[in-house]
Amino acid sequence: MSAVAQPAPILRYRTAAEMIAAHPAPTEHYEAHGAILLEDSGLEFDEAFVHRLVFPPDWKKVGTANDMTVPPIVYVKGAFRRTQNPLGRMIKEDWMLLKTYSELLRLEMGFKLKVADVLPRYRNVDWANCTFRFTRTENEGPHLDVFNKGRPLPRRRPRLKLFLNVDSKPRIWNVGPTLPDVLRCSGGALGASLPNDVNVLNHLINQSGHLAQCGYARVEIPPRGIVFANGATVVHQVLFGERMVALEGFAEWGREAPTEWDLLDSWIRDAGYGIEQVDPPPMPPQGADTESY
């Protein structure tokens, strides 16, 4: 009988000042595929207003990649005109549109600045997307993050993933094991050989049903709390939540630890699997969004 893969280790900090004082331990923990809970980020925003915002179900992961923080109203040829920002299609009143836009922009900018404070090694990040998940979520299945429907990724870069609870109630998560522990404890159940592309492999694992057999730690993310976890290498599950901002980027610069892409072949071999070589596809046309979801 295979061992049960246990949850990734979780570091907890009460305040941003406490996390900053612990440097470089938080960064090293994150790069070792651990999870971090910052209980109170201290991030300021109009909480009474944001706690009233509800987006349609099909906007669950709409964000900056969808122009949510593009100015929604501009002055052109002597008149004010609405832009491609999708908020403009949902909100009729200009004052409400501008207030909503300003709070989303405030959250995005404040979140990125907070990351630079608490993870100073990551002050140069190629930010990819910031999603505003203002829809009720309950009992999601446990999963590893997958992009572009599980196809091979053209750019194999270390991913930075952060999750900020902007609701008035705690957001409830299960934190599961790391990707290497999932492989090690799978007992050969995933096949004879595995693809050496993180995205393709994660899609296979999500579809296998094996994650239901793993161990999980229940985590309550308080209002203004942040979880730092690479969703591609840490299994996670949302049990309940209504408003969250998720920040995603790529951070090669200043990183000292090897990335999941560097280590994947050894993780597969150490778990007793053969390696199925997956070559990265050609780069998509400029502007094509294949990695944000």
What are the structural domain ranges in the chain?
A: 10-65+124-276
3-class secondary structure, 227: strand
The pTM of this model reads 0.92
The rounded mean pLDDT for the chain is 93
- 217 vs 6: CA distance, rounded Å: 9
pLDDT reported for residue 14: 98
10-65+124-276: which CATH number, 2.60.40, 2.60.120, 1.10.3470, 1.10.150?
Answer: 2.60.120
φ/ψ (deg, to 5) at 225: -80, 155
φ/ψ (deg, to 5) at 286: -55, 135
- 62 vs 51: CA distance, rounded Å: 18
pLDDT reported for residue 123: 84
pLDDT by residue, tens only, the chain of 293 residues: 468 999 999 999 999 999 999 999 999 999 999 999 999 999 999 999 999 999 999 999 999 999 999 999 999 999 999 999 999 999 999 999 999 999 999 999 999 999 999 999 888 889 999 999 999 999 999 999 999 899 998 877 888 899 999 999 999 999 999 999 999 999 999 999 999 999 999 999 999 999 999 999 999 999 999 999 999 999 999 999 999 999 999 876 556 678 899 999 999 999 999 999 999 888 765 544 444 43
Pick from 23, 8, 33: nearest CA to 123: 23
pLDDT reported for residue 282: 85
φ/ψ (deg, to 5) at 90: -100, -30
- Tracing tokens 């994650």 back to the chain, one arrives at 211
pLDDT reported for residue 162: 95
Q: Which residues contact 259 (CB under 8 A, 6 or more apart)?
A: 157, 158
pLDDT reported for residue 284: 67
Cα torsion angle, 87, 91, 94, 95, sign: negative
Q: What is the number of helices (H) and of strands (E) in the chain?
A: 8, 14
pLDDT reported for residue 157: 81
Q: What six digits make up the tokens of 285?
A: 């046309």
- Tracing tokens 């930075």 back to the chain, one arrives at 160
Give the CA-trace dihedral at 180, 284, 57, 85, to 10 degrees.
130
Cβ atoms of 192 and 274 within 8 Å: the answer is yes
pLDDT reported for residue 292: 41
- 28 vs 34: CA distance, rounded Å: 9
Residue 50's region, left for phi above 0, alpha for psi from -120 to 50, else beta, is alpha
